[in-house]
Amino acid sequence: MVTVVKRLLLLATLCFTTLFSPIAPAADKPVFKICWSIYAGWMPWDYAQQTGIVKKWADKYGIDIRFVQVNDYIESVNQYTAGGFDGCTMTNMDALTIPAVGGVDSTALIVGDYSNGNDGILLKGQGDIRSLKGRPINLVELSVSHYLLARALAKNGMSEKDIKVVNTADADLVAAFGTADVNAIVTWNPLLAEAEKQPGSHEIFSSAQIPGEILDLLVVNSATLKKHPELGKALTGAWYETLNTMHGDNPTAVAARTMMGKSSGTDLAGFDAQLADTYLFSNPKQTLDFVQSKALLTTMQSVAEFSFKHGLLGNGAPGADAVGIGAPAGVWGNTANIKLRFSDEFVKLAAAGQL
Protein backbone atom coordinates (compact mmCIF):
# COMPACT_ATOMS: atom_id res chain seq x y z
CA MET A 1 0.00 0.00 0.00
CA VAL A 2 2.65 2.45 -1.04
CA THR A 3 3.77 4.18 -4.18
CA VAL A 4 5.40 2.21 -6.95
CA VAL A 5 8.77 3.80 -6.23
CA LYS A 6 8.60 2.94 -2.55
CA ARG A 7 7.60 -0.62 -3.39
CA LEU A 8 10.68 -1.01 -5.56
CA LEU A 9 12.97 0.55 -2.96
CA LEU A 10 11.62 -1.70 -0.25
CA LEU A 11 12.04 -4.78 -2.38
CA ALA A 12 15.58 -3.82 -3.42
CA THR A 13 16.56 -3.27 0.19
CA LEU A 14 15.12 -6.61 1.18
CA CYS A 15 17.06 -8.38 -1.51
CA PHE A 16 20.40 -7.12 -0.20
CA THR A 17 19.83 -6.96 3.53
CA THR A 18 19.71 -9.82 5.97
CA LEU A 19 16.53 -9.20 7.90
CA PHE A 20 16.15 -12.40 9.86
CA SER A 21 18.16 -14.38 12.37
CA PRO A 22 18.35 -18.00 11.29
CA ILE A 23 15.92 -20.33 13.03
CA ALA A 24 17.38 -23.64 14.04
CA PRO A 25 15.00 -26.34 12.83
CA ALA A 26 13.65 -28.88 15.26
CA ALA A 27 15.19 -32.30 14.88
CA ASP A 28 14.03 -33.87 11.62
CA LYS A 29 11.23 -31.30 11.27
CA PRO A 30 11.01 -28.86 8.37
CA VAL A 31 10.42 -25.32 9.66
CA PHE A 32 8.04 -22.92 7.91
CA LYS A 33 7.64 -19.24 8.72
CA ILE A 34 4.40 -17.37 8.03
CA CYS A 35 4.08 -13.60 8.49
CA TRP A 36 0.88 -11.81 9.38
CA SER A 37 -0.33 -8.35 10.39
CA ILE A 38 -3.23 -7.15 12.49
CA TYR A 39 -6.63 -7.22 10.77
CA ALA A 40 -9.93 -8.71 11.94
CA GLY A 41 -9.90 -11.44 9.31
CA TRP A 42 -6.35 -12.50 10.19
CA MET A 43 -6.61 -12.50 13.98
CA PRO A 44 -7.69 -16.18 13.98
CA TRP A 45 -4.13 -17.07 12.92
CA ASP A 46 -2.70 -15.33 15.98
CA TYR A 47 -5.20 -17.08 18.22
CA ALA A 48 -4.39 -20.45 16.64
CA GLN A 49 -0.69 -19.86 17.22
CA GLN A 50 -1.08 -18.71 20.82
CA THR A 51 -3.45 -21.48 21.89
CA GLY A 52 -1.53 -24.35 20.31
CA ILE A 53 -3.93 -25.12 17.46
CA VAL A 54 -1.21 -24.46 14.88
CA LYS A 55 1.24 -26.67 16.81
CA LYS A 56 -1.32 -29.44 17.07
CA TRP A 57 -1.80 -29.57 13.30
CA ALA A 58 1.89 -29.07 12.56
CA ASP A 59 2.78 -31.97 14.88
CA LYS A 60 0.21 -34.14 13.12
CA TYR A 61 2.11 -33.69 9.86
CA GLY A 62 5.61 -33.73 11.34
CA ILE A 63 6.48 -30.10 10.66
CA ASP A 64 7.11 -26.87 12.57
CA ILE A 65 5.05 -23.77 11.67
CA ARG A 66 5.90 -20.38 13.14
CA PHE A 67 3.69 -17.34 12.70
CA VAL A 68 5.54 -14.03 12.96
CA GLN A 69 3.72 -10.72 13.37
CA VAL A 70 5.02 -7.85 11.21
CA ASN A 71 3.55 -4.51 12.26
CA ASP A 72 3.90 -2.86 8.85
CA TYR A 73 1.51 -4.69 6.53
CA ILE A 74 3.16 -3.82 3.23
CA GLU A 75 6.57 -4.67 4.65
CA SER A 76 5.29 -8.14 5.52
CA VAL A 77 4.26 -8.69 1.89
CA ASN A 78 7.63 -7.42 0.67
CA GLN A 79 9.48 -9.68 3.11
CA TYR A 80 7.51 -12.66 1.82
CA THR A 81 8.27 -11.63 -1.77
CA ALA A 82 11.98 -11.38 -0.97
CA GLY A 83 11.96 -14.96 0.36
CA GLY A 84 12.03 -14.20 4.07
CA PHE A 85 8.81 -16.14 4.71
CA ASP A 86 7.09 -19.19 3.26
CA GLY A 87 3.67 -17.58 3.48
CA CYS A 88 1.96 -14.32 4.34
CA THR A 89 -1.49 -12.83 4.93
CA MET A 90 -2.42 -10.30 2.25
CA THR A 91 -5.24 -9.02 0.07
CA ASN A 92 -5.91 -10.33 -3.41
CA MET A 93 -4.77 -7.07 -5.00
CA ASP A 94 -1.47 -7.03 -3.16
CA ALA A 95 -0.94 -10.72 -3.92
CA LEU A 96 -1.14 -9.83 -7.60
CA THR A 97 0.81 -6.57 -7.62
CA ILE A 98 3.69 -7.50 -5.32
CA PRO A 99 4.75 -11.19 -5.28
CA ALA A 100 3.07 -12.21 -8.55
CA VAL A 101 4.39 -9.18 -10.44
CA GLY A 102 7.74 -9.75 -8.75
CA GLY A 103 7.91 -13.23 -10.30
CA VAL A 104 7.13 -15.19 -7.14
CA ASP A 105 4.66 -17.95 -7.99
CA SER A 106 2.19 -17.87 -5.11
CA THR A 107 -0.88 -19.83 -4.07
CA ALA A 108 -3.86 -18.44 -2.19
CA LEU A 109 -4.13 -21.41 0.15
CA ILE A 110 -6.87 -19.92 2.32
CA VAL A 111 -9.44 -17.44 1.06
CA GLY A 112 -10.50 -16.43 4.53
CA ASP A 113 -13.01 -13.67 3.97
CA TYR A 114 -13.99 -10.67 1.98
CA SER A 115 -14.42 -7.17 3.28
CA ASN A 116 -18.12 -6.55 3.74
CA GLY A 117 -17.95 -3.07 5.21
CA ASN A 118 -14.48 -3.14 6.78
CA ASP A 119 -13.31 -0.67 4.11
CA GLY A 120 -15.14 2.58 3.57
CA ILE A 121 -15.23 6.18 2.38
CA LEU A 122 -15.95 8.83 5.03
CA LEU A 123 -17.15 12.35 4.38
CA LYS A 124 -17.67 15.26 6.77
CA GLY A 125 -20.96 17.06 6.43
CA GLN A 126 -23.80 16.36 4.03
CA GLY A 127 -23.30 14.65 0.70
CA ASP A 128 -22.71 11.41 -1.18
CA ILE A 129 -20.19 10.07 -3.69
CA ARG A 130 -21.10 12.75 -6.21
CA SER A 131 -20.25 15.34 -3.58
CA LEU A 132 -16.61 14.30 -3.91
CA LYS A 133 -16.32 15.94 -7.32
CA GLY A 134 -13.44 18.41 -7.34
CA ARG A 135 -12.39 17.51 -3.79
CA PRO A 136 -9.14 16.10 -2.42
CA ILE A 137 -9.49 12.65 -0.83
CA ASN A 138 -6.91 11.29 1.59
CA LEU A 139 -6.03 7.60 1.37
CA VAL A 140 -3.15 5.17 1.06
CA GLU A 141 -2.43 5.51 -2.64
CA LEU A 142 -2.40 2.32 -4.74
CA SER A 143 -3.91 0.29 -1.90
CA VAL A 144 -7.25 -1.51 -1.69
CA SER A 145 -8.62 1.83 -0.45
CA HIS A 146 -7.67 3.35 -3.80
CA TYR A 147 -9.36 0.43 -5.55
CA LEU A 148 -12.50 0.92 -3.43
CA LEU A 149 -12.63 4.60 -4.36
CA ALA A 150 -12.25 3.81 -8.06
CA ARG A 151 -15.11 1.31 -7.89
CA ALA A 152 -17.30 3.76 -5.97
CA LEU A 153 -16.69 6.48 -8.54
CA ALA A 154 -17.39 4.13 -11.45
CA LYS A 155 -20.66 3.01 -9.88
CA ASN A 156 -21.73 6.65 -9.76
CA GLY A 157 -20.74 7.59 -13.29
CA MET A 158 -17.51 9.29 -12.26
CA SER A 159 -13.78 8.62 -12.58
CA GLU A 160 -10.58 9.52 -10.80
CA LYS A 161 -10.30 12.56 -13.04
CA ASP A 162 -13.17 14.04 -11.04
CA ILE A 163 -11.27 14.01 -7.72
CA LYS A 164 -7.77 14.48 -6.34
CA VAL A 165 -6.06 11.65 -4.46
CA VAL A 166 -3.86 12.76 -1.56
CA ASN A 167 -1.48 9.98 -0.57
CA THR A 168 -1.51 9.61 3.23
CA ALA A 169 0.14 6.95 5.38
CA ASP A 170 -2.33 4.72 7.17
CA ALA A 171 -0.82 5.73 10.52
CA ASP A 172 -1.69 9.38 9.78
CA LEU A 173 -5.20 9.05 8.35
CA VAL A 174 -7.24 9.28 11.54
CA ALA A 175 -5.32 12.32 12.77
CA ALA A 176 -5.58 13.96 9.35
CA PHE A 177 -9.35 13.48 9.32
CA GLY A 178 -9.48 15.36 12.61
CA THR A 179 -8.12 18.52 10.96
CA ALA A 180 -10.16 21.20 9.22
CA ASP A 181 -8.30 20.70 5.94
CA VAL A 182 -9.29 17.05 5.41
CA ASN A 183 -12.95 16.35 4.66
CA ALA A 184 -12.88 12.95 2.98
CA ILE A 185 -10.83 9.81 3.55
CA VAL A 186 -10.83 6.17 2.50
CA THR A 187 -9.52 3.58 4.94
CA TRP A 188 -10.11 0.23 6.63
CA ASN A 189 -10.89 -1.04 10.12
CA PRO A 190 -9.94 -0.44 12.85
CA LEU A 191 -8.94 2.98 11.46
CA LEU A 192 -12.34 3.35 9.80
CA ALA A 193 -14.26 2.92 13.06
CA GLU A 194 -11.96 5.35 14.85
CA ALA A 195 -12.20 8.02 12.14
CA GLU A 196 -15.98 7.70 11.99
CA LYS A 197 -16.14 9.06 15.55
CA GLN A 198 -15.20 12.45 14.14
CA PRO A 199 -18.18 14.84 14.62
CA GLY A 200 -20.19 15.34 11.46
CA SER A 201 -18.66 12.42 9.57
CA HIS A 202 -20.59 9.69 7.85
CA GLU A 203 -19.88 6.78 5.53
CA ILE A 204 -20.88 7.30 1.91
CA PHE A 205 -19.62 4.03 0.41
CA SER A 206 -18.25 0.76 1.75
CA SER A 207 -16.90 -2.56 0.57
CA ALA A 208 -20.32 -4.04 1.34
CA GLN A 209 -21.38 -2.47 -1.97
CA ILE A 210 -18.76 -4.49 -3.87
CA PRO A 211 -19.06 -7.85 -2.07
CA GLY A 212 -16.42 -10.46 -2.81
CA GLU A 213 -13.93 -8.03 -4.39
CA ILE A 214 -11.57 -7.19 -1.51
CA LEU A 215 -10.36 -10.62 -0.41
CA ASP A 216 -8.19 -11.48 2.58
CA LEU A 217 -5.91 -14.42 1.93
CA LEU A 218 -3.20 -16.61 3.34
CA VAL A 219 -0.73 -16.87 0.48
CA VAL A 220 1.97 -19.56 0.36
CA ASN A 221 4.92 -19.94 -2.00
CA SER A 222 3.73 -22.37 -4.70
CA ALA A 223 7.04 -24.25 -4.96
CA THR A 224 7.13 -24.73 -1.19
CA LEU A 225 3.55 -25.95 -1.15
CA LYS A 226 4.19 -28.40 -3.98
CA LYS A 227 7.25 -29.81 -2.21
CA HIS A 228 5.53 -29.88 1.18
CA PRO A 229 1.79 -30.53 0.81
CA GLU A 230 1.78 -31.31 4.53
CA LEU A 231 2.14 -27.57 5.10
CA GLY A 232 -1.07 -26.92 3.20
CA LYS A 233 -2.88 -29.65 5.13
CA ALA A 234 -1.72 -28.40 8.52
CA LEU A 235 -2.56 -24.75 7.85
CA THR A 236 -5.97 -25.61 6.41
CA GLY A 237 -6.81 -27.86 9.34
CA ALA A 238 -5.73 -25.22 11.86
CA TRP A 239 -7.74 -22.52 10.11
CA TYR A 240 -11.07 -24.31 10.10
CA GLU A 241 -10.64 -25.62 13.65
CA THR A 242 -10.07 -22.03 14.77
CA LEU A 243 -13.10 -20.71 12.91
CA ASN A 244 -15.22 -23.44 14.46
CA THR A 245 -13.88 -22.53 17.91
CA MET A 246 -14.68 -18.81 17.62
CA HIS A 247 -18.17 -19.19 16.14
CA GLY A 248 -21.23 -18.71 18.34
CA ASP A 249 -22.07 -17.40 21.80
CA ASN A 250 -20.79 -20.29 23.91
CA PRO A 251 -18.14 -19.47 26.53
CA THR A 252 -15.29 -20.91 24.45
CA ALA A 253 -16.23 -18.86 21.39
CA VAL A 254 -16.66 -15.66 23.40
CA ALA A 255 -13.31 -16.22 25.13
CA ALA A 256 -11.64 -16.79 21.74
CA ARG A 257 -13.02 -13.59 20.20
CA THR A 258 -12.20 -11.66 23.37
CA MET A 259 -8.60 -12.80 23.07
CA MET A 260 -8.49 -11.84 19.39
CA GLY A 261 -9.97 -8.44 20.17
CA LYS A 262 -7.44 -7.74 22.91
CA SER A 263 -4.56 -8.79 20.66
CA SER A 264 -5.77 -6.40 17.97
CA GLY A 265 -6.13 -3.46 20.32
CA THR A 266 -9.84 -3.52 21.05
CA ASP A 267 -12.36 -5.41 23.18
CA LEU A 268 -14.96 -8.09 22.47
CA ALA A 269 -17.59 -5.57 21.35
CA GLY A 270 -15.13 -3.78 19.09
CA PHE A 271 -13.87 -7.01 17.55
CA ASP A 272 -17.38 -8.35 17.01
CA ALA A 273 -18.27 -5.08 15.27
CA GLN A 274 -15.36 -5.57 12.89
CA LEU A 275 -16.35 -9.18 12.28
CA ALA A 276 -19.84 -7.97 11.41
CA ASP A 277 -18.25 -6.10 8.50
CA THR A 278 -16.18 -9.15 7.50
CA TYR A 279 -17.73 -11.99 5.54
CA LEU A 280 -15.83 -14.95 6.94
CA PHE A 281 -16.11 -18.16 4.96
CA SER A 282 -16.84 -20.02 8.16
CA ASN A 283 -16.62 -23.55 6.77
CA PRO A 284 -14.86 -25.36 3.89
CA LYS A 285 -18.06 -25.70 1.84
CA GLN A 286 -18.59 -21.93 1.77
CA THR A 287 -14.97 -21.42 0.73
CA LEU A 288 -15.24 -24.03 -2.03
CA ASP A 289 -18.37 -22.46 -3.49
CA PHE A 290 -16.59 -19.11 -3.72
CA VAL A 291 -13.19 -20.30 -4.94
CA GLN A 292 -14.72 -22.53 -7.62
CA SER A 293 -17.03 -19.81 -8.97
CA LYS A 294 -16.37 -17.92 -12.19
CA ALA A 295 -17.08 -14.72 -10.24
CA LEU A 296 -13.64 -15.01 -8.65
CA LEU A 297 -11.91 -14.66 -12.02
CA THR A 298 -14.19 -11.75 -12.93
CA THR A 299 -13.14 -10.01 -9.72
CA MET A 300 -9.46 -10.65 -10.39
CA GLN A 301 -9.85 -9.26 -13.91
CA SER A 302 -11.25 -6.07 -12.40
CA VAL A 303 -8.35 -5.93 -9.93
CA ALA A 304 -5.81 -6.53 -12.70
CA GLU A 305 -7.28 -3.81 -14.89
CA PHE A 306 -7.15 -1.30 -12.03
CA SER A 307 -3.59 -2.36 -11.25
CA PHE A 308 -2.46 -1.97 -14.86
CA LYS A 309 -4.08 1.46 -15.14
CA HIS A 310 -2.10 2.61 -12.10
CA GLY A 311 1.22 1.11 -13.13
CA LEU A 312 1.20 -1.65 -10.52
CA LEU A 313 1.95 -4.43 -12.99
CA GLY A 314 5.34 -2.92 -13.87
CA ASN A 315 6.51 -0.54 -16.56
CA GLY A 316 7.02 -3.36 -19.04
CA ALA A 317 3.55 -4.86 -18.68
CA PRO A 318 1.86 -4.88 -22.12
CA GLY A 319 -1.61 -5.04 -20.62
CA ALA A 320 -3.78 -5.98 -17.65
CA ASP A 321 -3.44 -9.64 -18.61
CA ALA A 322 0.37 -9.69 -18.29
CA VAL A 323 0.22 -11.96 -15.24
CA GLY A 324 -1.79 -15.16 -15.38
CA ILE A 325 -4.23 -15.88 -12.54
CA GLY A 326 -5.27 -19.48 -12.08
CA ALA A 327 -8.40 -20.75 -10.35
CA PRO A 328 -10.55 -23.90 -10.41
CA ALA A 329 -12.84 -22.19 -12.96
CA GLY A 330 -9.97 -21.49 -15.35
CA VAL A 331 -7.23 -18.95 -16.04
CA TRP A 332 -7.45 -15.24 -16.62
CA GLY A 333 -4.51 -13.49 -18.22
CA ASN A 334 -1.28 -14.90 -19.59
CA THR A 335 -1.42 -18.69 -19.44
CA ALA A 336 2.35 -18.82 -19.96
CA ASN A 337 2.97 -16.61 -16.92
CA ILE A 338 0.67 -17.85 -14.15
CA LYS A 339 2.02 -16.40 -10.90
CA LEU A 340 -1.09 -16.27 -8.69
CA ARG A 341 -3.13 -19.38 -8.06
CA PHE A 342 -6.35 -19.92 -6.13
CA SER A 343 -6.33 -23.53 -4.98
CA ASP A 344 -9.21 -25.70 -3.80
CA GLU A 345 -7.01 -28.77 -3.23
CA PHE A 346 -6.73 -28.56 0.54
CA VAL A 347 -10.14 -27.05 1.18
CA LYS A 348 -11.64 -30.06 -0.59
CA LEU A 349 -9.87 -32.32 1.90
CA ALA A 350 -11.23 -30.22 4.77
CA ALA A 351 -14.77 -30.37 3.37
CA ALA A 352 -14.50 -34.15 3.04
CA GLY A 353 -13.09 -34.55 6.57
CA GLN A 354 -9.88 -36.01 5.18
CA LEU A 355 -7.27 -33.77 6.82
> DSSP secondary structure string, 159-170?
-GGGSEEEE--H
Question: Taking residues 170-182, what's their average pLDDT?
Answer: 93
Which position has the higher pLDDT, 331 or 315?
A: 331
pLDDT digits (tens, 9 = 90+) for 216-255: 999 999 999 999 999 999 999 999 999 999 999 999 999 9
- Model confidence at 290, pLDDT cuts 50, 70, 90, reads very high
Mean pLDDT, the chain, rounded, equals 91
Q: Residue 64's CB: how many other CB atoms inside 10 A?
A: 17
> Residue 214: in which H helix or E strand, if any?
none
Residue 313 above 60 pLDDT? yes
Residue 143's pLDDT is 87
The pLDDT value recorded for residue 27 is: 57
Res 6: pLDDT: 42
| Gap between the Cα atoms of 204 and 138, Å rounded | 15
Share of residues in the chain with pLDDT > 70 (%): 92
Q: Confidence class of residue 28 from pLDDT cuts 50, 70 and 90?
A: confident
Beta-carbon contacts of residue 30 (< 8 Å; ≥ 6 apart): 63, 64, 228, 231
Is a pLDDT exceeding 90 seen at residue 44? yes
> Would you state the pLDDT for residue 2?
40
* Confidence at residue 86, expressed as pLDDT on a 0 to 100 scale: 98
CB 97 within 8 A of CB 307: yes
Give the per-residue pLDDT at 291. 97
Please, which pLDDT band fits residue 72 given cuts at 50, 70 and 90?
A: confident
Asked whether the beta carbons of 44 and 235 are under 8 A apart, the reply is no
d(CA 339, CA 148): 24
pLDDT the model gives residue 142: 86
Peptide bond into 136 cis (omega under 30): no
pLDDT surpasses 60 at 160: yes
Note the pLDDT of residue 71. Answer: 86
Share of the chain above pLDDT 90, in %: 85
d(CA 146, CA 81): 22
Running DSSP on this structure, what letter comes out for residue 308?
H
pLDDT-derived band at 296, boundaries 50, 70, 90: very high
